[in-house]
Each structure stands twice: as structure tokens, then as C-alpha cells.
Structure 1
């Protein structure tokens, strides 16, 4: 009989919970190879192992079990949180969380998790590192501006800050070059197709390939829009409560920034985006709303191109 094993994982340990012979079983194992071997002994080939995407702590266990041929599903922590709230659970312990995950697994359809390629992992880590370095560059420049605005700035300090900025910018350039090399090795054909879309540049194409696992992760473009965080959120109740609508920002802020930039290029050179801009402008829509609408249109085009493995055509989408 198929068991649903819920796992609440942390840096050092993971809690295992599953229902067997109408009794809940619970174990605490080390988040190390020895703990991985112990859990594999209680699993059958038809069982499902379900865990949350808790930072990077889940990856070694998920990869180990997948390599051993077990079915693994990795769920967004927010989904489990909402499930717990729906069931009015008040306790918040590792043991209870593992049981909640197992209960969720029994009631909902699960999607099998597949590990990323080594190049995809490298790209993700490189991009995260570049983002941190860019923040450091921004902080240094802001500090330099603040010192200058005070009316006095020591020359030695000014040279030191400028030197730090140049050093960080050189590091960013080297990491970006490495990202370009790896992305062309991993996604060359898909990136070439995506860049045929007017308004979509190399970095956006690379990031879309990365977050979609080369367009194998999603089955519909609306899933991708929701993942990025461009889905509209409507606030309305009855006839009297009508709040201002806005996008749901529970997605990826990094790719949203890139798509915002792409939208202004697309409104000039992308046929369907240009028509959309003119139509919404005539209706008096704010620029920000138009920008989001164009970004959504771009995602739809990107998804269609990525799935079809064809180049952009003027009347596409």
C-alpha cells in the first residue's frame, strides 16, 4: 500500500511522519547521508516522499532519494501554511509540520520533483552572488554620495570607496561572463529562439530558461505568470468593499525586474505589445498598469516560443 511520507527539514535534522496501520509514525533523522540511508529503508517503490522547499536544506535528501528511484515531491512552503490554516491547526512544531505535510500529500495530486542539472545549479548560484555584489556596489555609491553631501570628504576615503566599487564591478563582470558561457552551453537553442522576440534580451532569456528548467517545469503560461509574481490580485467583497487591485508579488523579484525593463522596449518594437500599449493608453490606464500588462504578454510569448522551440513571428500571440 502506498504511504505518504511528510518531511519537515532543517539544517541539521529532518522529521519524518507517515500513517501506517492507522497509526501515525514519527522519526527524527540527521540531515546527513546516514539519515538518508535510514529513511530509504522504510520506503517502498510506490511511496511518495513530500517535503517543503526550505532554502537549500532539502536538496541533498531530495536528490539522494530521486537517485535511488523513489518518488519525491517538493511543495511550496506557502501551500503547506495555507493548508494548515484551513484545517485550523494551532501547534507549530517540527513533528506537527511533518504530519501536516503527509496529510496534505494524501489529499492533493502530487507532482514528481526532478533535480536540476549541474549547470542550472551553477547559474542559479552565480546569479544570486551577482545580485549581492550589485547591492554592495549600490551601498558604496550611496555612502559616497552621503559623505559628499555633508560638505567634506576625505580624499583618501573617497579613493578607497571608488577602489572598492571598481573591484566589485570587475568581480561582477567576471561572474557575468561565466554565466554567459554556461547558459550558452546549457540553453543555446532555446535562448536563441527567445531572443528573437522583440524586447527580450540575453539575460531575460537565460533567466526564463533557468526558472522553467528549459520550459519543462510548467504546463501552462498562467502557471509561469503566477510563479514570476505577475498574477493580478483582486480585493473585493460584496458591493461596498472594492479595494485597489494589484499584482501578487509572491514570485521571483529578480525576473520581474528584468521583465519590467523588457516591457518598455517591447512597447516600441514588439507588434502585439505595441498594439496593447496604444489600446490601454487610449483607455487612460496608468503607465505602471500598462507595463505589467505588457510584461504578462511577453511571458505568454516567451512560454509559447520556449515550448514550441520555434522563433518569433510578427503575428505570434
Structure 2
């Protein structure tokens, strides 16, 4: 007789992780371990590898070492989006907020939803993700220095030394951004050359946007359809409507990545002119009285749909792909 899996909830932080293990009487036992190799070993000794599945949230970089250790030890691991667990908590009207309660809630989510097992990503994928995070920080720093420079320029008394210093820092950041983007493109071309070329064949889709779509989607392997990709990027429509008493305008859900979203908007401006399907969609919505902003968001969604179809079908753009 096949034994049922024992779902173990893990609430992880920078220095420690709390564990909730359910016993045969459906009662939880709680443990706390150091978030290091010694703590991983002590934790794994409590588990039956063939019967246990550990559930943890993708909490920044803190989960990765433990998830990798457990996976390499033959213990099932599921890494879930913290937002999904939060929604699960709200549905159960759970208000308590402690590390123990969080670990138990994560275990309950695992038992109820049975998420897919996590697999360690290839080294080049991890490198791309690290570069992407670093690039986002560089762009934030660049924006901050540009704003600072503009503020200084409004001052009637300017410090030439300070102005020179800011320009020097900005130049260094620009060079670093170019080097990182060049390295990312080289990695993508090494592992996803054909997909990269296919995405670039979409009218309006630039090389940089194609590159970042491959990075964030794991080569379009992380999502089952274009709607999941759109939700991840942060452009899926969110409609507030309940019965007849509460009605609201559709809004896009911006819980996603601001950089790739901004890049897609730029692509959409081009696509509404040179991409036949996108142009027809944009013109049709504007003619119906929709705002140009909403029509542009629709074009972004259309571009993602085209990109997903091209990447999964492994073919170049044609008008049939819409």
C-alpha cells in the first residue's frame, strides 16, 4: 500500500528557519534550526526522505541553499510564491502571525494544494538571475544619480567638483550595465540562440526585451500559458466586481517586474505601428472609445501571447501567430 506523503512546512529567514511537522494524529511539532549547513543536516535527520515533502516560500535568496540541500538529499521540495500562501491564509481567515504559525500554514497549503516539486536550476540560469537582480539595482542607482544631478542643476550655485563626481559615477554605472547586458546576451545565445532569434522576429520586439523574457521565464518553461506569464510580469487585468453593488474599472495588476514591463511598453509603441495583429487590435480598441493607455496594455498582452506561442512552438513569427 502506497504511503501518503507527509507535508512539512518551513518558514525561512536569513539566520534561522522554523519547521512544522505533522504527526500521525494530525498534530504539529515545531522545530527551529540555524539557516546553515549544520542546521540542514539536523533537520534532514528528522525526515523520512521517501515520505516527506518540504514546502517553503521563495523568500528572497534565503531559501535556495536549503532547497538545494534537501533536493540533493533525495527529499521532495516545493518552492511556492509567498503571495499565493498569503491568499491561502486570507481564505482561511488566519490572523496569527508567528514563525510557528507561518510554518504550519505553509504545511497546510502543501497538503491542500499539492504544488509541483521544485528542481534545482542549471548554473547558467542562476547566473542569469543574479545578473538580472544586479542589473535592476544598477538601473535604480543610475536613476537616483540622474535625479540628484538634476536637483543640483536647479541650484544657482553649483559645485563643479560634485558635478564632475556625479558624472563620473554615472559613466561607471553605464559601462557596468553594458558589460552585464553583453554577458547576459552571450549566455542566452549559448543556450537559447534559436529561441532568441525567433523572439526577435516578432515585429516590435527588440533584442533586449527578448533576452529578458527568456531570463524571467526560464526559457519559457516556467509557465503553462501566456496568461501566467502576463501575471508574472504584472500586466494581467484585475477587475473589481461583485454582484450589482460593487463595480470598478479594470486595472492591471502591477505585482510583477517593473523593468521588463517598461521594456514591453516601449515595444508596444513600436508594435502598434509595425505588427499587423497588434496594430489592428490597438486601432479597434481606440475606435471603440477605449483609452490609448488601455489599448497599449492590450498590445503588450498580445506581444506576450505571440512570444509565448513562438517560443513554445519553436518557430519564427508569422501573421498566423496571434
Q: Do these two structures clear the TM 0.5 threshold for a shared fold by scoring above it?
A: yes
Q: CA deviation at 1:292?
A: 0.5
- Distance in 2, matches of 1:95 and 1:283, equals 53
Please state if 1:50 is matched with 2:37.
Answer: no
Question: Over residues 241-282 of structure 1, what are the superposed CA-to-partner deviations in whole Å (9 max), with x where a residue is unaligned?
Answer: 322220111122222111111111111111110111111121
Q: CA deviation at 1:4?
A: 0.5
Q: 1:100 aligns with which of 105, 114, 131?
A: 105
Q: Which runs of 5+ in 2 are unaligned?
A: none
Once superposed, what is the RMSD of the aligned Cα atoms? Answer: 1.5
Contact 2:49 2:74 in 1 (8 A): no
Q: 2:167 aligns with which of 142, 159, 162?
A: 162
Q: Which runs of 5+ in 1 are unaligned?
A: none
* Partner secondary structure for residue 49 of structure 1: strand
Contact 1:271 1:315 in 2 (8 A): no
Please state if 1:220 is matched with 2:214.
Answer: no
Q: 2:275 aligns with which of 253, 266, 270?
A: 270
- Distance in 2, matches of 1:12 and 1:84, equals 24
For residues 252 and 157 of structure 1, do their structure 2 counterparts lie closer, same or farther at Cα, with a shift above 3 Å needed? closer
Q: CA deviation at 1:288?
A: 0.8
What corresponds to 1:19 in structure 2?
A: 22
- Distance in 2, matches of 1:237 and 1:314, equals 38
Moved more, 100-109 or 41-50: 41-50
- The aligned runs of 1:79-94 (5 Å cut-off) are 79-94=84-99
Q: CA deviation at 1:239?
A: 2.6
Q: CA deviation at 1:199?
A: 1.3
For residues 156 and 204 of structure 1, do their structure 2 counterparts lie closer, same or farther at Cα, with a shift above 3 Å needed? same
Moved more, 234-243 or 255-264: 234-243
What corresponds to 2:35 in structure 1?
A: 31
- Distance in 1, matches of 2:228 and 2:136, equals 25
What corresponds to 1:231 in structure 2?
A: 236
- Distance in 2, matches of 1:229 and 1:144, equals 31
Question: Over residues 155-213 of structure 1, what are the superposed CA-to-partner deviations in whole Å (9 max), with x where a residue is unaligned?
Answer: 22222222222122122222222122122122212111111111111221121112221
Q: CA deviation at 1:142?
A: 2.1
* Partner secondary structure for residue 285 of structure 1: coil
Contact 2:310 2:321 in 1 (8 A): no
- Distance in 1, matches of 2:54 and 2:60, equals 18
What corresponds to 2:201 in structure 1?
A: 196
- Distance in 2, matches of 1:66 and 1:268, equals 48
Q: 2:121 aligns with which of 116, 120, 130?
A: 116
Contact 1:14 1:29 in 2 (8 A): yes
Q: State the TM-score, normalized to the length of structure 1.
A: 0.95
Q: State the TM-score, normalized to the length of structure 2.
A: 0.94
- Distance in 2, matches of 1:224 and 1:137, equals 28
Please state if 1:285 is matched with 2:262.
Answer: no
Q: Report runs of 4+ in structure 1 exceeding 3 Å deviation.
A: none
- Distance in 1, matches of 2:161 and 2:40, equals 55
For residues 153 and 220 of structure 1, do their structure 2 counterparts lie closer, same or farther at Cα, with a shift above 3 Å needed? same
Contact 1:272 1:315 in 2 (8 A): no
Q: 2:7 aligns with which of 4, 8, 30?
A: 4
Contact 1:49 1:73 in 2 (8 A): yes
